[in-house]
Amino acid sequence: MNAVVEEHHDHDHKPTGLGRWLFSTNHKDIGSMYLWFSFTMFFIGGALALLIRAELFQPGMQIVEPEFFNQLTTLHGLIMVFGVIMPAFVGLANWQLPMMIGAPDMALPRMNNWSFWLLPGAFGMLLASLVMSIMGLGSAPNFGWTFYAPLSTTYGPDSTDYFIFSVHLMGISSVMGAINVIATIMNMRAPGMTYMKMPIFVWTWFITAYLLIAVMPVLAGVVTMMLTDRNFGTSFFSAAGGGDPVMFQHIFWFFGHPEVYIMILPAFGIISSIVPTFSRKPLFGYSSMVYATASIAFLSFIVWAHHMFTTGMPVAGELFFMYATMLIAIPTGVKVFNWISTMWRGSLTFETPMLFAIAFIFLFTMGGFTGLMLCIVPADFQYHDTYFVVAHFHYVLVTGAAFSIMAAVYFWLPKWTGNMYDEKLGKLHFWLTTISANVLFFPMHFVGLAGMPRRIPDYALQFAEFNQIASIGAFVFGFSQLIFLYVVIKCVRGGKKATGEVWEGAKGLEFELPSPAPFHSYTTPPEVK
């Protein structure tokens, strides 16, 4: 791919002051805002996790009341899912997609701005309920991030209605973002960039955007049904009025399962961008990567009830969902094999992004194995609602999605800032994070198999040792992220100057721009051969 030489505009001017951020229509600034928002929420959600792990350090209730513990676990989940992982991926999309396809900006820059600013509002509301709870004014949401009825409807605290409003705002933000992504990718690719010449990260986001459009409205539907059940006399989920609590689970997981793929497909795209770069080899099997991503997205719609095997489903249903879920292992396996084949007989170097990418492949695959175990119904009866599930999803979300985000930040920071980050500190951050993440989450497999249920603030004595180990890992993990913060801030402020190419052998339109990328880039589209 050759790019037409970028004409140098001298006036790479940016707006100034607070208005630059409040009224931004620039994909780079908006991308930065999403990333900083996500990073902030990461520390807040992480603090809640540390409180949880502190309480679980030993048997007995030392720090919080059980009722507040349920609020902690609920908010930790909501913040990490909706406030960290999703906004971070949107931030990366904003920064990277226009540059990668040779477009000047996103298709709808003003809507882009609204998509972002909805989020601080939504989370302000959610966090306010936590603050009010600490002040003794009533409970924050305390029913788990999955908010099953009737615990969340008939028995939910007053803050539940604000939770519902908050979810609506987040949903609108995501849907608008997804529309923007699709319009950008479909309509603004540089001449010569056919679909099958798009960078793989663009493909994964393209597919993710369709998933978002398909399922976020269903989430909006289910929380609206909750709202009317709570306040306007309907009985969607109450057996008293002819409703069904299990139906809540069906509708929620119809959203919920594609949601977890929304949280991993962009990660796949990131790894597929980083591994070829540091292997100095093209991505193995580009088209099968595209087809595999599309298959995973399609399959994600027909597996939802594997979260519900203990609800009393008839055997035929259990078998169907087991088989359908097992199928997802195939395209996922294809992706893992393709990454390894990309590395095979390449010329590997192990800068920080590559370290995180390799850790992703190892550890996400672990999460994939436990996911396969979980979908096997006869075994799932012993795993469901135990720490085995907690271990599984933390492996795929932390050592999976979150690691990919860290990898992406290290990978593209020099492009964004024009400075190389401190490689020594980056590696330190990597090793501390990876080792502590395993100390934190691996023992959870054991206690889950040994019989420890989820969402409990206190536990029987036989689970004590591994819980203690996990809590230690949690604190090391949490504090290691301060190194990441330091590295990012230090890089923004200065460092060894980065070239346009940044990494030897880096391919892609973004690497044909200077570093830092100009405020307005590709106002004249490049020619793609």
Partner 1 sequence: MTAQNPDNRTADNPKIIGKLLVLVVAMFGFGFALVPLYDVFCDVTGLNGKTGNKVSFEIAPIVDESRVIKVTFLTSLNESMPWNFQAEQSFIKVHPGKPTTVNFIAKNTSNKSIIGQAVPSVAPGLAAAYFQKTECFCFTQQKLKAGEEKLMPVTFIVDSKLPKGMNEIVLSYTFFVSNKNEQDLSVATYDETAKSKSLTLSLNQDHIL
Partner 2 sequence: MRAVNRPLGLACLLLASNPTFADYQLNLAPGVTSTSQNSYDIHQIVMWICVVIGIVVYGVMTYSILNHTKAKNPNPAKFDDNLTIEILWTVIPVLILIGMAIPATSALLAMEDTSNSDMSIKVTGYQWKWHYDYVGEDVSFFSNLSTPMDQIKDKETKGENYLLEVDNTIVIPTGKKVRFLFTSNDVIHAWWVPAFGVKKDAIPGYINESWARVDEPGIYRGQCAELCGANHGFMPIVVEAKSEEDYLAWLNEKKTAQAAAAESGNKTWTMDELMAHGETAYITSCAACHQAAGEGIPNVFPALKGSAIAIGDITKHIDVVINGVANTGMQAFGPQLNDADLAAIITYERNAWGNSTGDMVQPSDVKAAR
Please indicate whether residue 429 is annotated as part of the active site. Answer: no
Please indicate whether residue 458 is annotated as part of the active site. Answer: no
Token pair belonging to 255: 């959203």
Task: Please give the Cα distance from 3 to 529 (Å, whole number).
Answer: 9
Three-state SS string over 93-141 comes to HHHHHHHHHCCCCCCCHHHHHHHHHHHHHHHHHHHHHHHHHHCCCCCCC
Please indicate whether residue 110 is annotated as part of the active site. Answer: no
Taking CB within 5 to 8 Å according to partner kind, which of partner 2, partner 1, none is near residue 104? Answer: partner 1
Assign 163 to helix, strand or coil. helix
Token pair belonging to 451: 């019989």
Q: Which residue of the set 168, 189, 306, 394 is catalytic?
A: 306
Task: Please give the Cα distance from 159 to 132 (Å, whole number).
Answer: 10
Token pair belonging to 486: 């330091």
Please indicate whether residue 307 is annotated as part of the active site. Answer: yes
If the CB atoms of residues 196 and 489 are measured against partner 1, the closer one turns out to be 196
Q: Is 236 in the site for partner 1 (CB under 8 A)?
A: yes
Indicate which single residue of 49, 86, 107, 130 sits in contact with partner 1 (rule: CB under 8 A).
Answer: 107
Residues 376-435 that bind partner 2 (CB under 8 A): 376-379, 381-382, 384-386
Taking CB within 5 to 8 Å according to partner kind, which of partner 2, partner 1, none is near residue 228? Answer: none
- Beta-bridged to residue 493, according to DSSP, are none
- Beta-bridged to residue 497, according to DSSP, are 419
Q: Is 287 in the site for partner 1 (CB under 8 A)?
A: no
- Calculate the alpha carbon distances from 254 to 30, 166, 310 in Å: 30, 20, 17
Residues 28-87 that bind partner 1 (CB under 8 A): none
Q: Is 468 in the site for partner 1 (CB under 8 A)?
A: no
Please indicate whether residue 115 is annotated as part of the active site. Answer: no
To the nearest whole angstrom, how small is the minimum distance from the Cβ of residue 453 to partner 2?
Answer: 5
* Residue of 93, 117, 124 lying closest to 27 (CA atoms): 93
Contacts of 231 (CB under 8 A, 6+ apart): 161
Residues 251-280 that bind partner 2 (CB under 8 A): 279-280
Please indicate whether residue 259 is annotated as part of the active site. Answer: yes
Q: Is 247 in the site for partner 2 (CB under 8 A)?
A: no
Assign 442 to helix, strand or coil. helix
Q: Which residue has the tokens 């075994």?
A: 379
Indicate which single residue of 214, 361, 476, 492 sits in contact with partner 1 (rule: CB under 8 A).
Answer: 214
Taking CB within 5 to 8 Å according to partner kind, which of partner 1, partner 2, none is near residue 346? Answer: partner 2
- Calculate the alpha carbon distances from 352 to 191, 421, 429 in Å: 34, 10, 9
Q: Is 221 in the site for partner 1 (CB under 8 A)?
A: yes
Indicate which single residue of 12, 23, 62, 110 sits in contact with partner 2 (rule: CB under 8 A).
Answer: 62
DSSP class of residue 529 equals: -
Q: Which residue of the set 173, 399, 434, 436 is catalytic?
A: 173
Task: Please give the Cα distance from 355 to 275 (Å, whole number).
Answer: 10
To the nearest whole angstrom, how small is the minimum distance from the Cβ of residue 426 to partner 2?
Answer: 18
Taking CB within 5 to 8 Å according to partner kind, which of partner 2, partner 1, none is near residue 107? Answer: partner 1
Q: Is 3 in the site for partner 1 (CB under 8 A)?
A: no
Task: Please give the Cα distance from 383 to 364 (Å, whole number).
Answer: 19
DSSP class of residue 510 equals: G
Please indicate whether residue 471 is annotated as part of the active site. Answer: no
Token pair belonging to 320: 């169907």
If the CB atoms of residues 193 and 405 are measured against partner 1, the closer one turns out to be 193
The binding track of 109-138 with respect to partner 2, each residue x by CB under 8 A or -, is: ---------------------------xxx
Assign 197 to helix, strand or coil. helix
Radius of gyration of the chain (CA): 23
Task: Please give the Cα distance from 337 to 361 (Å, whole number).
Answer: 10
To the nearest whole angstrom, how small is the minimum distance from the Cβ of residue 400 to partner 2?
Answer: 16
Q: Is 366 in the site for partner 2 (CB under 8 A)?
A: yes
Please indicate whether residue 148 is annotated as part of the active site. Answer: no
Indicate which single residue of 254, 261, 442, 459 sits in contact with partner 1 (rule: CB under 8 A).
Answer: 254
DSSP class of residue 159 equals: T
Token pair belonging to 1: 């791919």
The binding track of 87-106 with respect to partner 1, each residue x by CB under 8 A or -, is: -----------------x--
Q: Is 63 in the site for partner 2 (CB under 8 A)?
A: no
* Residue of 81, 35, 127, 56 lying closest to 474 (CA atoms): 56
Residues 182-211 that bind partner 1 (CB under 8 A): 182-183, 186-192
Indicate which single residue of 9, 20, 67, 431 sits in contact with partner 2 (rule: CB under 8 A).
Answer: 67
Indicate which single residue of 198, 202, 334, 391 sits in contact with partner 2 (rule: CB under 8 A).
Answer: 334
Stretch that binds partner 2, among 24-32, 355-363, 398-406, 426-434 (CB under 8 A): 355-363
**Residue 330 and residue 405 in contact, taking contact as beta carbons nearer than 8 Å:** no
What does the binding site for partner 1 look like in residue numbers (CB under 8 A)? 104, 107-108, 175, 178-179, 182-183, 186-192, 213-222, 225, 233, 235-236, 238-242, 244, 246-247, 250-251, 254-255, 312-314, 317, 523-525
Active site residues: 76, 105, 145, 173-174, 257, 259, 261, 272, 306-307, 332, 335, 454
